[in-house]
Structure 1
Amino acid sequence: MKLNQFARLAPEFSQQLTELARIGLPADPQGHFANTAAALYAAFFPEAYQLAAKQDKFAQIAVNSRQNLAEWLASGPTQMTRRDFYNVALQLLGFEAFTDFDLSDPLAFMAATELPSVDHDLLDTRDLLKASYLLLTTRTKHLVNFLDDLANRGFFKNFQSSSTQPKPLLFNGKVQQVFDARQAIREVVWIESDVDSDHDGQRDLLEATIYRPKATEQGLKVPVLFTANPYFHGTNDVTAATHVPETVLAVKSHGASKAEVTATPVRTDDLPKRVVTGEATEAEAYAEENSMYAFNDYFLARGFAVVYSAGVGTRYSDGFRTIGGPEETAGAVAVVEWLTGKRRAFTNRTAGVTIKAWWSTGKVAMTGKSYLATLAIAAATTGVEGLKTIIADAGISSWYDYYRENGLVVAPGGFQGEDADVLAVDTFSRQKSGGDMIRIKSAWERHLAAITRDQDRTTGAYTAWWDARNYRKNAANVKADVVLIHGLNDWNVKPKNAIRFWQAISDLPIQKKLILHQGQHVYVHNVRSLDFLDMMNLWLTHELLGVANDAARALPNVIVQDNVTPQTWSAYTDFANPEAEHVTTEVNLKNDFEAATDQFTDHATATFAAQHDTSASFEKAIITPNNAYANSRLWLTQPVLERDQILEGIPHLELTLAVDAPTGILSVRLVDLGEAKRFGETAATVAANDLQLGFDFKTTDIVEFKPAAKPTPSKLITLGHINLQNPKNAYEVQQITPGQFFHVSLDLQPTHYHLPTGRQLALIIHGADMAQTIRPTKTTHYHVDLAKSTLTLPFRL
């Protein structure tokens, strides 16, 4: 086990004493050693209320092979060996003597686990206080740090009772759990937007669900975590709407110019505003649905309000889903504007009674994964005031890069046949309210038909419709600081979405952080080897509370999880920066690879049917050395590696080829060859319900990425797809003369991949991708001029 920790600060000793006193612990370096130790250890068992109960707790803790903690304290100690202190500390952190570590050498276990320690025996009270402060900021077996663990056992349950005015509490640069999440005020309001996405002549009202600390009723103003979550009020069955992958790849007769595919901003009609009949300070509706994101729940007890809004076209709101369209962005922005006092909301949908977010400080962070993170990115690119930061996990930065690729219709990994119209059906939760749906059914069907038409599954081209859903083109407007989290094995929202956005904001005068993990489309807030929650606490304490905790400098710019050594996260100053610690190598496909042939015929669709494959089984088979698809691909290998290498960046392919058809699909996979127990792409549960999100509050599982139990012969590193008629971009078209050689350029998905000594790189070139592209039944013959084709590989030195 390794407990990587990036968010722990190391303040001066005088500041440590101030903070210890602030939380009610001994802080006098001249105090009696034994008395100080007794007071500290008594405080470390807040669940034991009386002395006898604490003594029983002490007796459960071994100090060494001869004494338990009760006996040691009774001896009136004047100092403590480093070994004895960390024997006790490890047990306080949740580890078991004799099982997890040896009492004769706790420091060996701490070093292996990467837990911090003082470097000498505790010779006086000053040393004891230093070591105790460090312990409080050290991570436990339960993922959180020790002070958080104490809070989860009631350490701060009476904190607010000692003050007439509720207030947050800071320790080690982070806000602490001093609010009772169980007593949160739950309410619903309706925010008036500027859009009319259902075309009924009225501004769409958007429902927002709020959970705020009870302390706001006593005058405390709090910052807000806002999650724009289209799934919040449920989803619909999309079986009937899901597309069967087309069997014919259309020949494109013409393309378009850049001007033709550039979206023009949609003018917002000056719709009449609702008539106001009064103003209230109390909401009229209770928030019946529970908060559904553990990350947000964690911060409820730390004095943040949490707001969810599902947006246009969802249950209890007006409008229609537009799947990344400007209306959805405007809806998210409207919520931010209400939270910052710049927009109206109502206590119900009809009476005209307004209500302000009087409990909000006007400082907002947007959070969430996938579609939720997408809307955070979208809102940030408007430059909306009051949005201080986004924490965007696996977000889409261009919807074309989600449902299309280089002139091809592609499916998000694992969801073959999904498209924008399918997601529109999925998230149109207004249909769950029958009384609402009977009024809008025909208008919704017309709207949905327009999405199906405009998404254009025939050509797969980049159009003005997709351009309106490309947030990167507005990246220069971003004023909020940005945290991006993404899986290096996420073939749903592919890594390009994060890395291209990271590049787009690289020169902006904002703070930005990037965290890359080995998972697929998953959260990392509960991964044990990473102190993600603590890092984001440090970040949000600075961003939303304005605390000068040096979060921007303390947290690395880039953190990447290693794919070879378990539980290893490395810090870097940037990702794939060609000006620092990177080199690119161009390799020729003929001279630098071994290949049995330079030609293949794509029989993938027929083989897929004959093998009764699924998308998942195809993805496994196509990268396996010998399988049924061997004749439908080129398999090129490099020599076995003689030293470790780290691929980092965007591999690029320049390919000269000929096909016997006027169009074609080209798919490329870069593969790691060699028997090895590689990481799973979904983290496994290592402690069920062991991450506590507040005192006597919710829990969630702790997970970890683990190597598989059995070795595999290969692993996909990255991939890419292109329509051969779109060699330059996704809107210009070239005509192909069958049998005549031509040239295409293809960027693969960005990657960071550790290749150990003894492994081999393989390049697989094939046609249709049964898992992601459409599935043409017509066979196509490919002939690659290997001598005139190159692969550029980016490496970290």
Structure 2
Amino acid sequence: MASPRQRRPRKPLATIALLAVAILLTGCSSPSGSAGPGDPDPVAAASATKGSATKGSAGRSGESTPVYSYAKAVRETVWVDTGLDSDGDGTKDRVAVDIVRPREPADQGRKIPVIMEASPYYSCCGRGNEQQKKTYDADGRPTGFPLFYDNYFVPRGYAFVAVDLPGTGRSDGCTDAGGPVDIQSTKTVVDWLNGRAHAYTTHTGTTPAQATWTDGATGMIGKSWDGSIANGVAATGVQGLKTIVPISSISTWYDAYFSQGALLAGSAPTPAALIRTVETDATGVRCSAVNRPLGDAAAKSGDWSPMWAERDYLAHADKVRASVFIAHGLNDLTVRTKEFGAWWDALAKNGVARKIWLSQTGHVDPFDYRRTAWVDTLHQWFDHALLGYDNGIDRAPMADIERTPDHWTTDAVWPPKSTATTTLDPGRGTEAGVGTLGTDPGDGTGTFTDDPEVSEADWAAHVDEPTKAKSGFVTGTLAKPVRVSGAARVTVTATATTTSANLTAILVDLGPATVRDYRSENLGISTLTTKNCWGANTAQDSACYQKTVADTTHVTSTVLSRGWAALGTADSATKVRPLTPGKPYELTLTLGSTDHVVPAGHRLALVVAGSGKGLLYHGAERPTITLDLAHTSLRLPVVGQPNWPAT
């Protein structure tokens, strides 16, 4: 989820503090699909220009090209007054806003758009696969910006704006993990870019800083916590925010910590614990008033509360004016796929222009699994949204989906229009724990005992075996491929032997395949020592990044979707209640959104089990749970009309 580090959550998958190797940027290989090292040649670039990199050319076809000097770009910091006093020191918070922008447009009296990233990671933990941090000269002027956005887009006529979230980096105040302080502070930066807020040239000074160099058109981008802030700011409906690109990002923070009352492993136990990894208040005293409610009982119980409501961007999706380009890993166990699926559906309901990329990776940036295509697509997206170019990106396929490592397909609309819900019923098999899955009504019971030392990989690998830790239900061999697209739902009627119980439901593709190894330390990628370059360089800010390749593995079973719930939420979706042992409860688990093709010759399985290793935090109780199969079903979003085999 909103991890302080951006890769390698492998010890175990449940750990949020993603480990990283610090890598020095030393030189570049020959650039691939890039402007290459050094400043672009304005004359050569201008000769290839199809459309000027200025707002004045909005509506013309073409693309922005690197006609401006990156070496001579203006690099400055302003401090934006947020209007808040989150740390209670009697002084309004100011957030540090580091800016790099081409000098030439302002000198010529022309205004430019902004690409902005607001992050808590710039000074504590670093950004991207190589853990880059901001750097400054002796006078505090920004000299190095993480990631390629500045190197690539500034020569093309954009400003890049990097905002330290409150309480992090050089900003005042206290971050509140995607809450009102984070969102209001970042929104105020958009307001300042549009002439509606105040900023100053120094941290404590009174000399105003005005954004006279921009037309106010802003696009936000970011991964994990950063992208979550983009979602939240878009949900305010702020004017001037034209587009957002959330990568592996949160749409409602409750779902980053809980799934229907069940406490998810893979995150800091509370938002307060997450905050402590990024805030500059090392003692925690200055921001204790903000941190305390984010770590108290309300943050640990699984109950919905006002704290979670403040961090629920879905509730305000009807305010979104910006277009949205989502990228997410279908095997992301840090920010789980329910986050993008619910956001996508809410945006669709409200007619928001949108696009999506879904990879086989875990919590990984597209720059590190499909670099050339990502930079090209992002370039077109920003050119269209911020410069107004009619480059066709709005008419391109809506969805790009990775089917096998590095093999992608597209869909004009996602999910496809022919997607419909199919209901499959689990049935009792000939052995305990091994049942059928098909269109015939279910009967009998399935019983398992929660064993938190058994993983989802174990359940999937032994789905055909009578094991005590799960109940498995399997279709016959498929004669034709079946494409699952969207969020499945599993309704169970379950009886537990204890006063609390967790449930997990997973869908499994049973059959041989080569997939990205998302369980590996690098979550489906391998980082090479060679580099390629994406924009212009200075001595302090390289545009060259280590190449990556797919990290693959051969499997005989693939988990394609997951869902979790506390059985105690059966009577109330907002509160976890104690169970009465022996009493049946009906509960529907919503699984994470997915898009997966189960090939012909494979089988589809549903596994229902307990906590599972590395998936959920669990208590001391080890309930035995009995499923009433006559009142248990799977509702599956399937493209087309599959012919299910007889069971």
Mapped partners of 2:356, 2:198: distance in 1: 35
Using the TM superposition, name which of 390-399 and 724-733 deviates more: 724-733
1:534-576 per-position Cα deviation (integer Å, ceiling 9, x unaligned): 12212211221122334311x222222213xx43322223323
- Supply the distance in 1 between the matched residues of 2:415 and 2:390 (Cα, whole angstroms): 30
Q: Within 5 Å, which residues of 2 pair with 1:62-211?
A: 144=33, 148=34, 156-158=41-43, 168=53, 173-211=62-100
2:434 to 596, 604, 610: 596
Which of residues 392, 398, 401 in structure 2 aligns to 1:560? 401
Change in Cα spacing, 1:719 to 1:296, as seen in structure 2 (3 Å) is farther
Identify which of 299, 322, 325 aligns with 2:176.
322
- Deviations 1:4-59 (Å, cap 9, x if unpaired)? xxxxxxxxxxxxxxxxxxxxxxxxxxxxxxxxxxxxxxxxxxxxxxxxxxxxxxxx
State whether residues 332 and 379 of structure 1, in contact with CA within 8 Å, keep that contact through their aligned partners in structure 2: yes
Q: Which residue number corresponds to residue 538 of structure 1?
A: 380
The C-alpha deviation readout for 1:574-607, integer Å capped at 9, x for no partner, is 3235xx21132211111799843744453524x4
Contact 2:112 2:159 in 1 (8 A): yes
The structural deviation recorded for 1:511 is: 2.0
- 2:89 and 2:430 mapped to 1: Cα distance? 61
Write the distance in 1 (CA, Å) between the matches of 2:509 and 2:471.
16
Sort the Cα spacing of 1:155 and 1:775 in 2 relative to 1 into closer, same or farther, 3 A.
Answer: closer
Looking at structure 2, the residues matched to 602 and 747 of structure 1 have their Cα atoms a distance apart, in angstroms, of 22
Q: Distance in 1 between matches of 2:239 and 2:466?
A: 54
Q: Which moved more, 1:663-672 or 1:178-187?
A: 178-187
Task: Work out the CA distance in 1 between the residues paired with 2:81 and 2:233.
Answer: 17
SS of 2:427's equivalent? coil
What is the one-letter code of the residue matched to 1:174? E
In structure 2, give the amino acid aligned to 1:225: I
Of 216, 232, 241, which residue of structure 2 is paired with 1:378? Answer: 232
Structure 2 Cα separation of the partners of residues 385 and 559 of structure 1? 29
Q: 1:551 aligns with which of 387, 393, 404?
A: 393
Matching residue within 346, 353, 356 for 1:504: 346
Q: 2:240 and 2:154 mapped to 1: Cα distance?
A: 20
Residue 112 (structure 2) aligns with: 222
SS at match of 1:376: helix
More helix, by proportion? 1
Aligned to 1:423: 274
- Say whether the 8 Å CA contact 1:380–1:480 is kept in structure 2: yes
Q: Does the CA-based 8 Å contact 1:284-1:348 persist in structure 2?
A: no
Pick closer, same or farther for the CA change 1:235–1:677 going to 2, 3 Å.
closer
Aligned counterparts of 1:174 and 1:592: Cα–Cα separation in 2: 60
Closer, same or farther: CA 486–692 of 1 in aligned 2, 3 Å? same
Q: Distance between the aligned counterparts of 1:678 and 1:547, measured in 2?
A: 37
CA distance in 2, matches of 1:161, 1:557: 31
Shift of 1:423: 0.9
For 1:105, the equivalent position in structure 2 comes to none
8 A Cα contact 2:535 2:543, kept in partner: yes
Residue 301 of structure 1 pairs with residue 178 of structure 2: no
- CA 1:403–1:726 in structure 2 vs 1: closer, same or farther (change >3 Å)? same
The TM-score normalised by the length of structure 1 is 0.67
Structure 1 window deviating more from structure 2 (308-317 vs 521-530): it is 521-530
Counterpart residue identity of residue 594, structure 2: T
Q: How many residues align?
A: 576
Quick one: structure 1 residues 686 and 645, their matched pair in 2 at CA, closer, same or farther if it must change by over 3 Å? Answer: farther
Q: Which has the larger radius of gyration?
A: 1
Deviations 1:411-445 (A, max 9, x none): 33xx4x542111110121243xxxxx7xxx53423
2:245 & 2:363 partners in 1: Cα distance?
15
Residues 159-218 of structure 1, C-alpha deviations (whole Å, 9 max, x = no match)? 5899xxx96389972111222323322211110012221122322111111111132452
Instruction: Give the Å deviation of 1:755.
Output: 1.1
Identify if the C-alpha distance between structure 1 residues 627 and 322 changes in structure 2 by more than 3 Å, giving closer, same or farther.
Answer: farther
1:675: how far off?
Answer: 3.0
1:631 to 2:468 alignment: yes
- 1:366 is aligned to 220
Does the 8 Å CA contact 1:518/1:705 hold for their aligned counterparts? no
Which amino acid letter does the alignment assign opposite residue 362 of structure 1? Answer: G
User: 2:510 matched to which residue of 1?
Assistant: 673
Conservation of the 8 A alpha-carbon contact between 1:143 and 1:531: no
Map of 2:7 onto structure 1: none
Structure 2 counterpart of 1:783: 626
Matched, 1:337 2:191: yes
Q: Is the 8 A contact 1:455 1:466 kept in 2?
A: no
Cα distance in 2 between the residues matched to 1:593 and 1:363 = 64
Matched residue type, 2:391: N
Aligned CA distance change for structure 1 residues 650 and 528 (closer, same or farther; 3 Å) = closer
Q: For 1:484-503, what per-residue CA distance to the aligned partner results, in whole angstroms no more than 9, with x for missing partners?
A: 11111111111111121111
Q: Which runs of 5+ in 2 are unaligned?
A: 1-28, 127-136, 436-444, 519-523, 641-647
| Higher RCO (CA-CA < 8 Å; seq separation 6+) | 2
Partner deviation per Cα, 1:618-651 (whole Å, 9 max, x = no partner): 4433432189993221122221222212111111
- Say which SS state the counterpart of residue 517 (structure 2) adopts: coil
CA distance in 1, matches of 2:213, 2:465: 63
1: distance between equivalents of 2:296 and 2:579? 27
Return the letter of the residue paired with 1:508.
N
8 Å contact kept, 2:271–2:294: yes
CA RMSD for the aligned pairs? 3.1
Q: What is the deviation of 1:664?
A: 0.9
Residue matched to 1:23: none
Match of 2:457 among 611, 620, 640: 620
| Range with greater deviation from structure 2 (398-407 or 697-706) | 697-706
Residue of structure 2 in register with 1:649 after alignment: 486
Contact 1:314/1:429 (<8 A) preserved = yes
> CA separation in 1, counterparts of 2:429 and 2:575?
32
- CA 1:634/1:621 → structure 2, altered by over 3 Å: closer, same or farther? same
- Is the Cα–Cα contact under 8 Å of residues 599 and 634 in structure 1 kept in the other structure? yes
Distance change in 2, residues 1:648/1:203 (3 Å):
same
Change (3 A) 1:775 1:372: same
Distance 1:422-1:593 versus aligned 2 partners, 3 A rule:
farther
Asked if 1 retains the 8 angstrom alpha-carbon contact of 2:302 and 2:575, the reply is: no
Distance 2:316 2:323 in 1: 15
| Structure 1 counterpart of 2:15 | none
Q: CA shift at 1:734, angstroms?
A: 5.6
Aligned position for 1:705? 550
* Structure 2 counterpart of 1:173, one-letter code: G
TM norm structure 2:
0.82
Native 8 Å contact 2:254 2:312 kept in 1:
yes
Map 1:52-67; keep pairs closer than 5 Å: none
> How far did 1:531 drift?
1.6
Higher strand share: 2
Question: Alpha carbons of 1:757 and 1:299: their partners in 2 closer, same or farther (altered >3 Å)?
Answer: same
Query: Which stretches in structure 1 are left out of the alignment for 5+ residues?
Result: 1-93, 95-140, 237-282, 432-436, 609-617
- State the partner residue of 1:479: 321
Q: Is the 8 A contact 2:446 2:629 kept in 1?
A: no
1:388-428 CA-partner distances (Å, limit 9, x unpaired): 1111111100000101110122133xx4x542111110121
